[in-house]
């Protein structure tokens, strides 16, 4: 049996009791290590689980899947994923390979950012399509996520923005020289995401576009959701551009229509006492900004 086990979002103890029991009995345990991170490292997980973990980076999962699946038809192998195994990144490819090889699989679910964002007080019902915001470079500055946010906002929906993670990236020079030397991991902050979004807003304004988002749009920054030192900060897009929410992982929400109960919840994590002040002055049934 191949077990896909979600680890949740915080530390070693966010695994489910069922998941932990399975980890302890499997012949091999892989840790998927390229789409998300916990607040604790591999060592802490190994110590808590009492098991050696085999790091599975993207190359391994994509190119050496047979290695992961080896023997899973006669013994139990676990594949651990931060969050939920079918959260932001699915592992459909590995599932299909397993099934084609006659290997049964089972999923042990857990929280992922896709549902845990509800803790900020915005209703999961009211979220539209989730978008990803990638690190811009000097020459590559995609704006497509803006258009998706716009579509959601036009429908009154909130947008969860997953922020870029660069793990095991090679510099152009090392890549060209075939040197397997990797850059330090980088995680986009809420501030960086907000800065990029502000730049797009400015670009669109100069082009005379109908603006779906402005500097005053209410957004929510989230850092280390589910961990003890989780931070949630609600404020205008401009305010979030200058906030420091600490270490990774960060996510951001661009709000759509806000219901009164959602506003009350956001006030609990307002960036400044008057950050959500203006919302009090709009009509009583729903709020927009």
Of 27-35, 149-157, 165-173, 177-185, the segment contacting its own copies by CB under 8 A is 149-157
Site for its own copies in 214-243 (CB under 8 A): 225-226
User: Is 250 annotated in some ligand binding site?
Assistant: yes
**Residue 151 found at the interface with its own copies (CB under 8 A):** yes
Q: How far is CA 230 from CA 221, 239, 249, 259, 283, in A?
A: 11, 19, 10, 24, 32
- Using CB under 8 A, which of 43, 52, 63, 125 touches its own copies? 125
- Using CB under 8 A, which of 3, 14, 150, 258 touches its own copies? 14
Of 135-143, 163-171, 215-223, 261-269, the segment contacting its own copies by CB under 8 A is 261-269
User: Is 84 annotated in some ligand binding site?
Assistant: yes
User: Is 74 annotated in some ligand binding site?
Assistant: no
Which of 211, 220, 213, 216 lies closest to 263 in space, CA to CA?
Answer: 220
User: Is 213 annotated in some ligand binding site?
Assistant: no
Other C-beta atoms within 10 Å of 76: how many? Answer: 17
Point out which residues pair with 132 in neighbouring strands. 162
* First and final C-alpha spacing in the chain: 51
**Residue 8 found at the interface with its own copies (CB under 8 A):** yes
Q: How far is CA 38 from CA 15, 34, 250, in A?
A: 11, 11, 12
Cα 45 to the center of its chain, rounded Å: 20
* 42-49 helix and 17-25 helix, angle to the nearest 10 degrees: 80
User: What CA–CA distance (Å, rounded) separates 117 from 14?
Assistant: 16
- For the bound state, the minimum distance from the C-beta of residue 268 to its own copies, rounded and expressed in Å, comes to 6
User: What CA–CA distance (Å, rounded) separates 62 from 60?
Assistant: 5
Closer to its own copies at the Cβ: 55 or 124? 124
User: What CA–CA distance (Å, rounded) separates 152 from 185?
Assistant: 31
Site for its own copies in 85-124 (CB under 8 A): 85-88, 90, 92-93, 95-96, 99, 107, 109-112, 114-116, 118-119, 121, 123-124
Site for its own copies in 152-171 (CB under 8 A): 155, 157
Binding-site residue ranges for S-adenosyl-L-methionine: 9, 84, 87, 112-113, 163, 225, 250
By CB under 8 A, name the binding residues for its own copies: 6, 8-18, 20-21, 84-88, 90, 92-93, 95-96, 99, 107, 109-112, 114-116, 118-119, 121, 123-130, 151, 155, 157, 225-226, 261-262, 264-265, 268
């Amino acid at each position: 049996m191949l077990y896909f086990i979600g680890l949740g979002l915080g530390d070693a103890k966010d695994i489910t009791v069922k998941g932990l029991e399975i980890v302890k009995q499997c012949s091999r345990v892989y840790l998927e290590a390229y789409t998300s991170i916990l607040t604790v490292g591999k060592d802490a997980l190994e110590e808590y689980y009492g098991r050696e973990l085999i790091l599975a980076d993207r190359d391994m999962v994509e190119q050496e899947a047979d290695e992961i699946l080896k023997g899973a038809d006669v013994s139990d192998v676990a594949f651990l994923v931060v969050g939920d195994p079918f959260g932001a990144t699915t592992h459909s490819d590995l599932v299909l390979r397993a099934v084609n090889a006659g290997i049964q699989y089972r999923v042990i679910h857990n929280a992922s950012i896709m549902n845990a964002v509800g803790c900020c007080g915005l209703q999961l019902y009211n979220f539209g399509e989730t978008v990803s915001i990638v690190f811009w470079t000097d020459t590559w500055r995609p704006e497509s996520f803006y258009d998706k946010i716009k579509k959601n906002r036009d429908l009154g929906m909130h947008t969860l923005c997953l922020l870029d993670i660069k793990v095991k990236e090679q510099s152009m020079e090392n890549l060209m020289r075939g040197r397997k030397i990797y850059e330090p991991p980088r995680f986009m902050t809420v501030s960086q995401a907000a800065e990029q979004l502000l730049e797009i807003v400015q670009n669109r304004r100069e082009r005379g576009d109908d603006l779906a988002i402005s500097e005053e749009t209410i957004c929510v920054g989230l850092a280390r959701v589910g961990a003890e030192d989780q931070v949630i900060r609600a404020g205008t897009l401009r305010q979030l551009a200058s906030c420091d929410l600490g270490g990774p992982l960060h996510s951001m929400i661009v709000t759509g229509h806000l219901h009164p109960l959602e506003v009350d919840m956001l006030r609990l994590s307002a960036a400044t006492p008057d950050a959500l002040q203006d919302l009090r002055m709009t009509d009583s049934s729903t709020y927009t900004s």
